[in-house]
Amino acid sequence: MADYTRTEARDWARERLVGAVNCTIPSFTNDLTAINEKGIRHDVRLAREHGFLGSLGVSEVNITLPEYLRFLEIMKDEAGGDLVVVHHASWSTLEQNVEAVKGAEASGAELVLLSYPPNFYPQSEQEIYDYTKAVCDATNLAVILFPMFLWGFSSRIHPSDIPARLIRRLLDDIPNIAVIKAEGGFPSIMGIVEAHRLFGEEVVISCPIEGELLPLGQLIPIQLSATSDHEFWGPTIPEAMRLLRAGRFNEVTELYWKMHPARKAKGAMAQQLNGGHFIDRQLWKFQGWLRGYNGGPLRLPTQRIHDPQMNTLKQGLIASGFEPTADPFSEFFIGRNPA
């Protein structure tokens, strides 16, 4: 149960959400019949060690709702009060998302990342408003509003994915929208600039893309980077956030250029494997495994990752001066905590 009310959600977010939030992808037993508690706890512990303020419990994998809610309970138990557990409101229908967000609140989640189902095809701003309000009204938790190209809104609704005039209505009518994950119109930076300019005094503006975070954070105050596959960078993003808050911009710039070879490798993989407007969770799980996270098998349907992609990501980290695991790639498909 969250320690704030719906009407306190924005104040809670402003105070509590300072830093970076990574992603925890569920780990499964090697026969794929159940979730792997040891692997999940390993990933949560490592996220804490790396300095993350919270972690998203990813739901965009083949997992049942009861398994997912147990996954969140394990995350919360391992996190204690040190790590904010974020519910991933990414289920197939509005009804399933309402059920899931209520279950997530009961399971100990403190924050919600709002998604839109693949079969949700709104043809008006009002339809987006109605869906968003229905999910937010079903929970007392603070919600992250997420303008994003993946939803497919830009061709019918507005090039920014969720236009500012609609965000204005949502903020006025839904008090527990506390964060905007500003990826509207990506790869343009205008989405985050517009969100900061219009709404930055009311809600927290998150910049999840580290390639934008490190430069823009030197020009505008950004207190939160959530949620993203920051585990690829180990403890680097939490450290970058601390440097930004301290105004140590020369060090941030040096870090940006250090990361650039790995950033380019990661970007190349995203372009190659995410062309279907689908986040490749297998790829993200491998990225985390390179930096010590559990790894391990995922159930079908899942995208595949082969040696050329794995080598590109590993060599990118090495070129940037990081030290990825020396374990053979075969170990990724077993996981560090097999069960």
Q: Give the three-class secondary structure for 98.
A: helix
Q: Which residue type, as a one-letter code, is found at position 160? A: S
Domain assignment of residue 309, yes or no = no
Domain assignment of residue 112, yes or no = yes
User: What share of residues in the chain are helix, strand, coil (percent, to 5)?
Assistant: 50, 10, 40
Below-70 pLDDT ranges, the chain: 272-278
Return the pLDDT at 278: 67
The phi, psi pair for 294, rounded to 5°, reads -65, -40
Q: Are 7 and 145 in contact, with CB atoms under 8 Å apart? A: no
Tell me how far the alpha carbon of residue 111 is from its chain's centroid: 12
Cα radius of gyration (the chain):
19
Contacts of 317 (CB under 8 A, 6+ apart): 232, 262, 265, 290, 291, 323, 324
Return the pLDDT at 269: 81
Q: Which residue type, as a one-letter code, is found at position 201? A: E
Mean pLDDT of the chain: 96
The phi, psi pair for 154, rounded to 5°, reads -65, -35
How many domains in the chain? 1
Domain assignment of residue 101, yes or no = yes
- Can you list the alpha helix ranges (DSSP code H) found in 108-202? 125-137, 164-173, 190-199
Q: Give the three-class secondary structure for 144.
A: strand
Chain length of the chain? 339
CA 132 to CA 293: how far, in whole Å?
33
Return the pLDDT at 277: 62
Domain assignment of residue 75, yes or no = yes
Return the pLDDT at 329: 98
Return the pLDDT at 268: 86
Q: Which of 213, 321, 266, 291 is nearest to 47 (CA)?
A: 291
Return the pLDDT at 1: 73
Residue 181's Cβ-count burial label (10 Å; 0-12, 13-18, 19+) is buried
Give the pTM. 0.97
CA 224 to CA 245: how far, in whole Å?
10
Return the pLDDT at 270: 75
Domain that includes residue 215, residue range: 6-248
Domain assignment of residue 334, yes or no = no
Read off the pLDDT of residues 20-29 as tens digits, 9 standing for 90 and up.
999 999 999 9
Return the pLDDT at 274: 53
Domain assignment of residue 286, yes or no = no
Q: Are 203 and 178 in contact, with CB atoms under 8 Å apart? A: yes
Domain assignment of residue 134, yes or no = yes
Domain assignment of residue 60, yes or no = yes
CATH code, 198? 3.20.20.70
| Residue pointed to by tokens 């059920």 | 99
